[in-house]
Chains A and B, each alone.
Chain A
Amino acid sequence: MTLTSANYRSMRHRKQLYSFLLTALVGVLFFAAFGVTEDRNAGDFLSGFTRILDFPSELVAESAANARGLPALMVGFLPALIETLNIAITATLIGSTVAMLGALFAAHGLMPSTLSVLTMRRIFDLLRAIPEIVVALVLIFVLGGGPVPAMIAIALHTIGSLGKLFAEINDNADLRPIQGLSATGASWFQTMWFGLLPQTMPGYFSYILLRLEVNIRASAILGFVGAGGIGYEFKNAITWGQGRYDDAAALFLMLFATIIILDAASGRIRKTLSEGG
């Protein structure tokens, strides 16, 4: 026994000291950073904190007065919601298809060439790093307004994030079926289709569902900066201010309901998938 009890105790003390210092450092950083951002903010924290409910309560008061009109408003905004959903679904479909193809070239077990794996992964990193909002605004300049720029922007981001996750799934795939198939003389496409996809598809699918949720939120946000859909209506209603708060409330309820329903549905589907049902 080289570890004496005094020795042990001193190590323990040192460890406690380190964790204490680390926690203190993070705490000090946190409050210092908060102070910096508060200085550069238009309003300060304390006075803002007391006003935090002003806007929601104004909104609720006005829309409660007009509660009967809300369903009609919601029906009126339905096309906008459908556009937002279409942007998200199309972007997810296109993005995940490209990501699936790309991920085949980004997995160590499937590609003998390290160069292809590294290049593909860097491309995915790059696509994830570019903020959707920038791509969307640049594309609006080139393609004109409308839903397509937003869709392309979200699809590019989807390729980046799903590509990385799919490549990780492919890395963990069992290589024996693939080797067995290629030993029978199957083509590369057949090997992937019958050897790889049956094992990786459930994993892919659950990530795609999660991504769809994220993309619906992204699609709403992009609408806010001018790409159409429910986000755009939201911006109009809010900048109009009093008098159109019932619009804002209707839009809020629609977005909220969509996200909740989608969250529940995709949670259930993923559960079924992971239980192998």
Chain B
Amino acid sequence: MTDASHKTALNIHRHMRARVVAAAALPLLTLFYLAYVGFAFDVPKLMREAEGRNAAILLRDASHYKIHVDTPAGQIKPSVSVEGERKGRYADDRLPAWVEPGTTQTIIDLGADGSVSVRPTITTIFTADGQFEILRDGRKLRLVTAPDIVPENMRVGPRRITLTGDNSRVTITPRGTLVYRYFFGWEMFWFARDSRFADMSLATLMRVAAVGDRVDPEHTNVRVMLSDIWHNPVWRHNEVVWAIGETLLMAFLGTLGGAILATPLALLAARNINPLAPVRAFIRRVLDFVRGVDALVWTIVLARAFGPGPMTGALAIMITDAGGLGKLFSEAAESANQRTLEGVKSTGAGSAPLLRFGLLPQILPVLVSQTLYLFESNIRSATIVGAIVGGGIGLLITQSLATQKDWEEVAYYLSLIIVMIMFVDHLSSRLRLWLIHGDK
């Protein structure tokens, strides 16, 4: 073995050893880092305090609705409403079949959970565990009859007795008896209680739409139905559609405006287009600055000047994008084929025809495909920016998240956002393929 080849072998050996050390050290370092972060984030405390119950509430509320049956003390006649809202109140002559008001008592059927009988001073709950009779005695409650063992799902106090079933909850206080019954689904999604179509099944609805007598002599039934759905006061479908539109508009304006702003800046920053080095350097620093300042900061600064609303959001996206696209466009221009440019220049073309015929055909596909990519990601950004500047679906979803109880609305808006984003992704990838390959 010659000296030189020995040295190479030694080098390779050393190199291999370094790689082995690196391969072992990297996962170890990562583990150490994760352990440190676990302490920094105080994960043990989080585990202790995490509210598993909240997750259950959230899931039940997002997929179920409850009907409140509220009977004040001393009365028999209940007031029945969806989620206790005034907009969701049942008319007294159109109560659900499981609530039966009588002359001496109201019987509320709770399905598998049993039933409740409400009288002016006595409320009786019938369950599989037995019968509970509660007497309202002035401002105190008394459990008159009960089985020997009070079940776990019952809380008994002097001023409040609750019994929580699988799909219901009965609360008795000196002020009255409140019964909740849970049902699967989203209540009043199509028709609110005040609509004349509220209780109809799909088959009935179709029959009424096709051959039924006109509910409103001025308009056809289909038209009244559509208008009732559109103006549904609980789910506010018209406002939601507007909000989605606003979010799409913010993304569209922001991306297109950003691309329009970026193009001249990119040309001024490209080495092969602009021969003036100081101007180039200046424009580049400007682009770096715009990109370095976070979208969050632009949003705050613009919100101060333009006030809250979708235009502010669109402008914030526009500025952020102008920085990013400016850099990408100038890179595209610099990597354009120089010979084509020189060829066009040799025909004596001025700068405008030079750009139009020498540069544009080369970089247009890159420009368009980058812009479309950005449009996709901007739909997501527009949701978040909307939450900050107060516009679009982002605002609606943060509003319903803030109450921490309208989880069915959160679920609804979230599904709309997902559908919207997937739809735009699909559309823009089709458009991109079509623009680049000229076919589908």
Contact = CB atoms under 8 A, between A and B. Distances in A.
A46 B397 CA distance: 30
Contacts of A29: 252
B308 A42 contact: yes
A172 B373 CA distance: 21
Contacts of B300: 234, 238
Interface in A1-57: 26, 29-30, 33-34, 36-38, 40-45, 48-49, 51-52, 54-56
B311 A38 contact: yes
A217 B296 contact: yes
B418 A48 contact: no
B291 to A, nearest CB: 8
B372 to A, nearest CB: 13
A246 interface: no
Given A40-B311, A259-B294, A52 B256 contact: no
A225 B387 CA distance: 9
A168 interface: no
Nearest to B414: A134
Most A CB atoms within 10 A — which of B249, B250, B304, B422?
A: B304
A190 B268 CA distance: 51
Interface in A119-139: 125-126, 128-134, 137-138
Interface in B280-332: 288, 291-297, 300-302, 304-314
A131 B384 contact: yes
B307 to A, nearest CB: 3
Interface string B244-266: 00100110110011000000000
B383 interface: yes
Contact of A30 (B256, B288, B297, B422): B256
Contacts of B301: 52, 55-56
B296 A221 contact: yes
B305 A146 contact: no
Contacts of A137: 398, 401
B312 A41 contact: yes
Nearest to A228: B41
A49 B305 contact: yes
A49 B253 CA distance: 17
B53 to A, nearest CB: 9
Interface in B104-127: none
Contacts of B306: 41-45, 48
A144 B51 contact: yes
Contacts of B421: 128-129
A232 to B, nearest CB: 12
Most B CB atoms within 10 A — which of A52, A141, A256?
A: A141
B21 interface: no
Q: Chain A interface: which size bin?
A: 35 or more
B46 A217 contact: no
Contacts of B294: 217, 220-221, 255-256, 259
Contact of A125 (B46, B292, B293, B422): B422
Contacts of A86: 37, 40-41
Q: Chain B interface: which size bin?
A: 35 or more
B70 interface: no
A263 B292 contact: yes
A195 interface: no
A126 B34 contact: no
A273 to B, nearest CB: 15
A148 interface: yes
Given A40-B309, A148-B43, A224 B414 contact: no
A151 B43 CA distance: 12
A93 interface: yes
A256 B291 CA distance: 9
A216 B380 CA distance: 16
Contacts of A171: none
Interface in B1-33: 30, 33
A252 interface: yes
Contact of B310 (A26, A40, A143, A221): A40
B418 A129 contact: yes
B297 A129 contact: no
B152 interface: no
Interface string B197-240: 00000000000000000000000000000000000000000000
A189 B123 CA distance: 66
Interface string A221-240: 10011000001001000100
B425 interface: yes
B128 interface: no
A54 B380 CA distance: 29
Contacts of A142: 50-51, 54-55, 58
B148 interface: no
A38 B315 CA distance: 11
A144 B49 contact: yes
B410 A131 contact: no
A138 B410 contact: yes
Most B CB atoms within 10 A — which of A133, A225, A252?
A: A133
Interface string A49-77: 10110111000000000000000000000
Closest 3 pairs (CB-CB, A-B): A42-B307, A41-B309, A43-B307
Interface of A: 26, 29-30, 33-34, 36-38, 40-45, 48-49, 51-52, 54-56, 82-83, 86, 89-90, 93, 125-126, 128-134, 137-138, 141-144, 146-148, 151, 217, 220-221, 224-225, 231, 234, 238, 252, 255-256, 259-260, 263
Given A129-B425, A131-B380, A225-B398, 14 more contacts: A34-B311, A40-B311, A42-B309, A43-B312, A45-B306, A48-B302, A48-B305, A56-B301, A93-B30, A129-B422, A133-B383, A141-B58, A142-B50, A224-B388
22 contacts: A30-B252, A34-B311, A37-B246, A37-B310, A41-B308, A42-B307, A43-B309, A52-B305, A56-B301, A86-B41, A129-B422, A131-B417, A134-B397, A134-B414, A141-B58, A142-B54, A144-B46, A217-B295, A221-B294, A221-B388, A231-B296, A256-B293
